[in-house]
């Protein structure tokens, strides 16, 4: 079963998707981290961020993997070509670089393929911008999370403060926890992600939209887990009905064949 969770930056996707995955015993895939890992490599190699071909080669050739800490159900680190980029992918520099990188069709094709491969193997809660629309349009449950830009900026600052807690004197900490700058970046990325030509951020027609502005994380997770359980039951009933319909059709065909034999 695939649960697609899409929405803009800071809508609570990551936190909610992780909790829902643990509650349901599903795998979790953060597709934004994959685009970010490609951006880290592109910046490290000094590539021109307007040049698609060499950046697409990173997406096709350099394996992105997730590291797990023993005893913890969710991935705790991200690697590209074996290099740990867990902290680097969250810096303001990469917040900026990831927009053009993720707008390249060839980069999207490569990462979409890897995401489909992951989802084909495991029950997965997958979060991103285009999971319900492009990566898994047949996902059993599609959720689109929203919240006001201000609420999203406050959440992002809190999250960044926790991430960079070991490094509070650094420039990265100061930049990542500056609320006005974070809000400006969120608005910039909303505009960019929604207006790009390939796989723009959009709610799938059959998704459930949840405005999380005034909801606690637990409330949102509970809603998603309830929806997932309901879809599971519906799926099982649908499969039973399909099997029942197939059985009835087979019985009718057998009767028709018997009748034809009788006439012959």
Report the candidate in 219, 212, 230, 202 with the shortest Cα–Cα distance to residue 140.
230
9 vs 143, beta carbon nearer ligand DC: 9
Report the candidate in 176, 181, 183 with the shortest Cα–Cα distance to residue 161.
176
What are the φ and ψ backbone dihedral angles of 68, each rounded to 5 degrees? -115, 145
Report the candidate in 225, 25, 16, 13 with the shortest Cα–Cα distance to residue 124.
25
98 vs 227, beta carbon nearer ligand DC: 98
108 vs 237, beta carbon nearer ligand DC: 108
Residue ranges binding ligand DC (CB under 6 A) = 9, 31-32, 35-36, 98-99, 102, 128-130, 189, 193
Give me the torsion for CA of 140, 194, 129, 56, rounded to 10°: 130
Q: 144: part of which helix (H) or strand (E)? A: strand 141-146
* CB 129 to ligand DC: min, Å: 4
Spell out the alpha helix ranges (H) of the chain: 13-24, 31-44, 52-61, 92-103, 105-121, 149-163, 171-176, 179-195, 217-263
* CB 128 to ligand DC: min, Å: 3
Q: Give yes or no for a contact between 101 and 112, defined as CB atoms under 8 angstroms apart.
A: no
155 vs 189, beta carbon nearer ligand DC: 189
* CB 70 to ligand DC: min, Å: 26
How far apart (Å, rounded) are the C-alpha atoms in residues 75 and 84?
A: 13
* CB 83 to ligand DC: min, Å: 18
* CB 42 to ligand DC: min, Å: 13
119 vs 128, beta carbon nearer ligand DC: 128
CB atoms within 10 A of CB 95: 23
199 vs 221, beta carbon nearer ligand DC: 199
* CB 2 to ligand DC: min, Å: 13
């Amino acid at each position: 079963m695939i649960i697609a969770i899409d929405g803009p930056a800071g809508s609570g996707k990551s936190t909610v998707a992780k909790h829902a995955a643990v509650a349901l015993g599903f795998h979790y895939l953060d597709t934004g981290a994959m685009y970010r890992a490609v951006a880290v490599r592109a910046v490290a190699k000094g590539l021109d961020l307007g040049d698609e071909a060499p950046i697409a080669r990173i997406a096709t050739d350099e394996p992105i993997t997730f590291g797990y800490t023993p005893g913890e159900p969710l991935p705790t680190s991200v690697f590209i070509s074996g290099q740990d980029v867990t902290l680097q992918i969250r810096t303001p520099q990469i917040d900026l670089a990831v927009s053009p990188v993720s707008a390249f069709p060839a980069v999207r094709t490569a990462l979409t393929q890897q995401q489909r491969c992951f989802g084909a193997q495991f029950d997965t809660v997958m979060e991103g911008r285009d999971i319900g629309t492009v990566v898994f349009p047949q996902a059993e449950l599609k959720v689109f999370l929203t919240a006001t830009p201000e609420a999203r900026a406050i959440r992002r600052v809190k999250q960044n403060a926790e991430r960079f807690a070991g490094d509070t004197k650094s420039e990265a900490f100061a930049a990542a926890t500056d609320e006005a700058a974070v809000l400006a970046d969120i608005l910039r990325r909303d505009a960019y992600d929604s207006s790009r030509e390939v796989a723009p951020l959009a709610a799938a027609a059959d998704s459930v939209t949840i405005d999380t502005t005034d909801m606690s994380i637990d409330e949102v997770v509970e809603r998603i887990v309830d929806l997932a359980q309901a879809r599971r039951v519906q799926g099982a009933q649908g499969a039973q009905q399909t099997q029942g319909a197939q059985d009835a059709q087979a019985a009718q065909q057998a009767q028709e064949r018997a009748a034809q034999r009788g006439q012959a």
